[in-house]
């Protein structure tokens, strides 16, 4: 170890060293003191020592308990004040998929590794990296991998650990964090601070007209000050922030160059990435080699790496419960269903109610299968899960990031499918259509008010115009257009269900009989009637 490392340790742990030295000194003095006693008194002292230590410990515990309860508001605060310095050991290859993100992150690693030469030519190291993306996509994992690859210390803290009811505590923790990071950077040349859930302290600051300020303001101010301070002192500290929140939520001061210079968008994995993720997690357990990983990847559209890990874990549990040695495709499918749809719980329903639910779901299913251009049915069920009596589970064939008019209209039609089915079959409808209507109206409203997809020629986003500035006639026309879309869709759905009444009745009766229909079973029924899915036709 170099002298710098020794000095770094001295700076970092001087309190611990002092305490250790004092304890050793006290022990030596105790031994000398005891040695000078006659053996009887020495024995008594030694015999009483455990009891005295116990009593001292008890007294200290009572004192700490009282102090925390009455002065600091409980034990949770103690836990929060902790700063974790970890020996991370996540290899670059352990980060599966997200090649683009990794490429961006690799640049950062190289910058950190090459910081000396960068400084020689007068360049400055990146101070902050902001990782934005949905939860479970591997932001923390990637940050750890950066730390491992760059071979520098890594301090991790969650944004919520800074928030306190007491003003100033959060700011003090930021100071502590950077103090520790500076000490580590002094010893090892650089240090990474990883702040998870950055939005907890990085939200736009609020300023009261009365001069008051929020606790998060002072915490964020301290963070900004510390990040500026890094430049002055030439410490190579890289702050990596991670958030699920969109950038707009974060304070602009945090996002300006010099703070979080670089933004990395860590998105959900693509089809190939999901395939590799499934392969990676399945390789850790025993699984049936006939499992088609590609099919699993296709079944798990929009799933994050954390979801995929969870699916494999859940499948392992299911296999274990069924006393199997290896995980089969069925176990994985069950795991996906359990995670996506929740656990089944049977409700006792009347026959009439059960029929209504079955026909309602059949309505959704038939419309979805025949009319929807992108989405696929993967299960229909009339078994209660969570708060629904039945459901048709669907997912797009592949990630779709935009929706065109056709897709939105199909969504409206699918939503109305349940209502129309009840109307055709029973002549009356139930209140189970409320959620469907809500969905349909939102789509139709957005088509007219926001996306300019109406036929009346209204183009523009009218939702951003204050309501008072919109004329009543304009609002009326927009609403009429919204209603027209709904009515037309309803008409189209009615025609479809009447036309496909055979399939409609068949599926409903199958649902009533089996309670659940899987992807393959649905496919089979439609094939029997010579139908194939829309997206297959358009491919």
Partner 1 sequence: MARVELGLKRNKRRAVTLFLFFTLCLLLFNPLGCNPTYPKERVDKSIINLCKREYKVDVEIKVVGKTIGVYIPIEDLIGINLAINPDKIGKVDDVIMSVSRVALSTDAKFNFYVLVAQDPIVPDIELIIIRNVTDVKRFLVTDISQSEYLNRMIIQLKLTPQAEKERVIRELFARTGVDVSEETIEDYFKSGYIDTISDIGYWNGKFFLKDVTMGEFIAKQVEERMRKDFTTDNSLKIFKLNFVDSAYKNGNFNFDFEVNSPDAPADSSKANRSVVLKYIYGVVSKVLHGYGFQDYSYINLSYNGEKVVFTKENLQDIKKRKLKVEDII
Interaction site with partner 1 (CB under 8 A)? 27, 31, 34-35, 38-44, 46, 49, 86-90
Tell me the H-state helices in 284-426.
293-299, 305-321, 329-341, 351-371, 405-426
The pairing of beta strand 375-381 with beta strand 391-396:
antiparallel
Looking at the Cβ atoms of 144 and 299, the one nearer to partner 1 is 144
Rounded CA-CA distance 332/336 in Å is: 6
Nearer to partner 1, 310 or 479 (CB): 310
**Cβ neighbour number for residue 505 with a 10 Å cutoff:** 13
Q: How far is the CB of 283 from partner 1 (least distance, A)?
A: 15
Structure tokens at 320: 């274990």
Terminus-to-terminus CA distance in the chain, angstroms?
A: 64
- Phi first, then psi, for residue 530 (nearest 5°) are 75, 30
Q: Map tokens 């929706």 to a residue.
A: 403
The CB-of-28 to partner 1 minimum distance in angstroms stands at 9
Beta carbon of residue 148, minimum distance to partner 1 (angstroms, whole number): 11
Is residue 349 within 8 Å of residue 480, measured between CB atoms?
Answer: no
Smallest gap from residue 49 Cβ to partner 1 (A)? 8
Q: How far apart are CA 27 and CA 24, in angstroms?
A: 5
Q: What phi and psi, each to the nearest 5 degrees, are found at residue 205?
A: -70, 150
Distance CA 446, CA 496 (A): 25
Q: Is 345 exposed, middle or buried (0-12, 13-18, 19+ CB in 10 A)?
A: exposed
Query: CB-wise, 46 or 474, nearer to partner 1?
Result: 46
Alpha helix segments (H runs only) across 322-404: 329-341, 351-371
Q: Which of 197, 215, 361, 500 is catalytic?
A: 361
Beta-bridge partner residues of 191: 237
Nearer to partner 1, 153 or 170 (CB): 153
Taking residue 498's Cβ as centre, other Cβ atoms within 10 Å add up to 11
Q: How far is the CB of 325 from partner 1 (least distance, A)?
A: 22
Catalytic-residue membership of 361: yes
Nearer to partner 1 among residue 37 and residue 58 (C-beta): 37
| Cβ closest to partner 1, residue 140 vs residue 395 | 140
Report the nearest approach of partner 1 to the CB of residue 25 (Å): 14
Q: Sheet containing 262-265: which strands, arranged edge to edge? A: 84-86, 154-158, 191-196, 237-243, 128-132, 262-265
Q: Which residues are catalytic?
A: 361
């Amino acid at each position: 170890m170099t002298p710098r490392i020794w000095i770094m340790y001295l700076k970092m742990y001087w309190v611990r060293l002092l305490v250790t030295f004092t304890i050793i000194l006290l022990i030596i003095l105790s031994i000398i003191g005891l040695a000078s006693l006659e053996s009887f008194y020495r024995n008594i002292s030694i015999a009483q020592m455990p009891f005295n230590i116990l009593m001292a410990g008890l007294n200290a515990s009572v004192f700490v308990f009282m102090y925390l309860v009455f002065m600091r508001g409980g034990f949770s605060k103690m836990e929060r004040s902790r700063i974790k310095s970890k020996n991370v050991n996540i290899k670059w290859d352990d980060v599966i998929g997200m090649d683009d993100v990794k490429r961006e992150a690799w640049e950062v690693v190289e910058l950190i590794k090459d910081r000396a030469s960068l400084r020689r030519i007068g360049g400055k190291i990146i101070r902050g990296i902001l990782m934005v993306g949905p939860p479970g996509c591997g932001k923390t994992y990637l940050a750890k991998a950066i730390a491992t690859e760059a071979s520098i210390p890594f301090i991790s803290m969650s944004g919520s650990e800074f928030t306190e009811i007491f003003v100033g505590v959060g700011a003090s923790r930021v100071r502590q964090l950077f103090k520790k990071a500076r000490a580590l950077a002094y010893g090892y040349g650089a240090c990474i601070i990883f702040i998870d859930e950055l939005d907890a302290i990085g939200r736009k600051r609020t300023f009261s007209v009365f001069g008051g300020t929020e606790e998060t303001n002072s915490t964020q101010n301290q963070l900004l000050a510390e990040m500026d301070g890094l430049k002055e002192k030439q410490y190579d500290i890289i702050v990596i922030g991670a958030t699920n929140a969109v950038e707009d939520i974060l304070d602009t001061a945090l996002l300006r160059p010099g703070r979080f210079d670089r933004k990395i968008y860590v998105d959900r994995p693509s089809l190939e990435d999901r395939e590799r993720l499934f392969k990676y997690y399945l390789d850790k357990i025993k699984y049936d080699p006939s499992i088609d990983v590609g099919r699993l990847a296709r079944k798990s559209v929009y799933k994050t790496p954390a979801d995929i890990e969870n699916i494999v874990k859940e499948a392992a549990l299911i296999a274990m419960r069924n006393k199997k040695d290896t995980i089969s495709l069925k176990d994985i499918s069950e795991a996906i269903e359990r995670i996506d749809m929740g656990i089944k719980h049977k409700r006792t329903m009347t026959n009439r109610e059960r029929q209504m639910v079955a026909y309602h779901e059949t309505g959704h299913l038939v419309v979805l299968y025949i009319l929807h251009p992108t989405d696929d049915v993967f299960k229909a069920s009339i078994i209660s899960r969570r708060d629904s009596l039945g459901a048709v589970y669907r997912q797009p064939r592949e990630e779709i990031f935009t929706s065109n008019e056709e897709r939105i209209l199909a969504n409206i039609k699918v939503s109305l499918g349940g209502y129309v089915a009840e109307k055709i079959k029973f002549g009356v409808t139930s209140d189970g259509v409320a959620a469907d209507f809500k969905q349909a109206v939102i789509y139709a409203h957005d088509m007219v008010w926001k996306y300019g997809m109406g036929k009346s020629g209204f183009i523009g986003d009218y939702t951003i115009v204050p309501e008072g500035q919109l004329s009543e006639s304009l609002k009326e026309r927009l609403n009429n257009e919204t209603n027209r879309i709904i009515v037309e869709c309803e008409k189209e759905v009615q025609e479809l269900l009447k036309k496909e009444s055979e399939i409609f009745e068949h599926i409903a009766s199958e649902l009533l009989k089996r309670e659940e229909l899987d992807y393959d079973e649905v496919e089979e029924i439609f094939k029997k009637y010579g139908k194939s899915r829309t997206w297959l036709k358009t491919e």
